[in-house]
């Protein structure tokens, strides 16, 4: 019978993930047959040494068809978009942004980061595109993984085409609620409706513990071959 978890249970499991690292989770997902759950290379964290894990809150952006200034937009439309974004966020989530290949504007910046953190209770963001206002995002210590940086504003260049719907980010399909785990090695998506999250976390913790044990022995002078013969794995 498929296990279901409430939001608080998922957050508790995510806290355990943050104490290990993405390669151990990627290895477990490989063993379970999910070998395409790591986002492709190129995502860089703006804050070193940070790890975050949380349910995905998805945003879908695309290059605009017709450029407009902010004053040209219907105020009710702008208010609805902001309400749809920030009114549906839950504490502990991680924002995932698809830019549909458009890298001509900052897909995420200071105002989004500030509101996500202080109003939405969001842990961080993964952006498949460039971001801006990095120095001010660092001031509030909001972790973001992105595909570069650019000074140009999204207004007049980008449309919000989807909120809280399945997206592609870093070459991986991300469904709302999938667990996003990001650290210095990259970003892994745990498909929460397909796998048992607690099993993934527990097995990844075992991998991390075994690797710490092997690492300790190798650092004490034992050879990699000796460690492999002793434990039957590396």
98 Cβ neighbours under 8 A, 6+ residues apart = 58, 59, 60, 61, 128, 167, 168, 169
176 inside domain:
yes
How many whole angstroms separate alpha carbon 51 and alpha carbon 53?
A: 7
Q: Report the share of the chain in percent with pLDDT over 90.
A: 77
* HSE value, Cβ hemisphere, 13 Å, CA-based, for 218: 14
pLDDT digits over 153-190, tens only? 998 899 999 999 999 999 999 999 999 999 999 999 99
10 Å Cβ neighbour count for 224? 11
Which stretch of DSSP H or E encloses residue 198? helix 197-219
**Ranges in the chain, pLDDT < 50:** 1
Which three-class secondary structure state does DSSP give residue 194? coil
Q: What is the pLDDT of residue 1?
A: 45
* CB neighbour class for 167 (10 Å; exposed up to 12, middle 13-18, buried from 19): buried
pLDDT at residue number 65:
83
pLDDT digits (tens, 9 = 90+) for 192-217: 999 999 999 999 999 888 777 666 76
Helix (H) or strand (E) holding 67: none
Residue 51 in any domain: the answer is yes
Whether 221 is covered by a domain: the verdict is: no
Which residue, 17, 5, 6, is CA-closest to 200?
17
Question: Can you tell me the distance from the alpha carbon of 101 to that of 216, in angstroms, rounded to the nearest whole number?
Answer: 43
What total number of domains does the chain contain? 1
pLDDT of residue 220: 74
pLDDT at 233: 62
Read off the CATH number of the domain in which 175 is found.
3.50.30.40
- Asked, for residue 163, whether it belongs to a domain, the answer is yes
Provide the pLDDT for residue 127.
Answer: 98
Q: How confident is the model at residue 230, as a pLDDT?
A: 66
Q: Is residue 59 part of a domain?
A: yes
CA angle 88–37–140, rounded 5-degree value: 45
Domain for residue 220, yes or no? no
Which bin fits 164, alpha (ψ -120 to 50), beta or left (φ > 0)?
left
The partner residues of 60 in beta bridges, in order of sequence, read: 98, 162
Whether 79 maps to a domain, the answer reads yes
> Is residue 191 in a domain?
yes
Radius of gyration of the chain (CA): 19
- The domain containing residue 111 runs over which residues? 7-195
- Position 222 scores a pLDDT of 74
């Amino acid at each position: 019978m498929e296990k279901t978890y409430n939001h608080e249970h998922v957050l508790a499991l995510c806290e355990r993930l943050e104490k290990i690292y993405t390669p151990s989770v990627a290895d477990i997902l490989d063993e379970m047959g999910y070998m395409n759950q790591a986002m492709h290379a190129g995502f860089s964290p703006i804050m070193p040494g940070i790890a975050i894990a949380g349910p995905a809150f998805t945003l879908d952006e695309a290059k605009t068809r017709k450029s407009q200034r902010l004053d040209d937009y219907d105020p009710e439309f702008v208010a609805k978009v902001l309400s749809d974004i920030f009114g549906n966020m839950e504490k502990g989530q991680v924002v995932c942004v698809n830019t549909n290949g458009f890298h001509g504007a900052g897909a995420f910046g200071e105002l989004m980061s500030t509101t996500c953190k202080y109003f939405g209770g969001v842990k961080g963001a993964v952006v498949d595109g460039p971001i801006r206002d990095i120095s001010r995002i660092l001031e509030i210590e909001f972790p973001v993984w992105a595909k570069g940086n650019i000074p140009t504003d999204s207004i007049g260049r980008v449309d919000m085409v989807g909120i809280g719907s399945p997206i592609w980010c870093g070459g991986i399909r991300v469904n709302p609620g999938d667990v996003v785990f990001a650290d210095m090695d990259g970003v892994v998506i745990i498909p929460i409706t397909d796998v048992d999250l607690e099993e993934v976390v527990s097995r990844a913790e075992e991998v991390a513990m075994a690797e710490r044990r092997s690492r300790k022995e190798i650092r004490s002078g034992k050879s990699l071959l000796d460690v492999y013969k002793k434990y039957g794995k590396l």
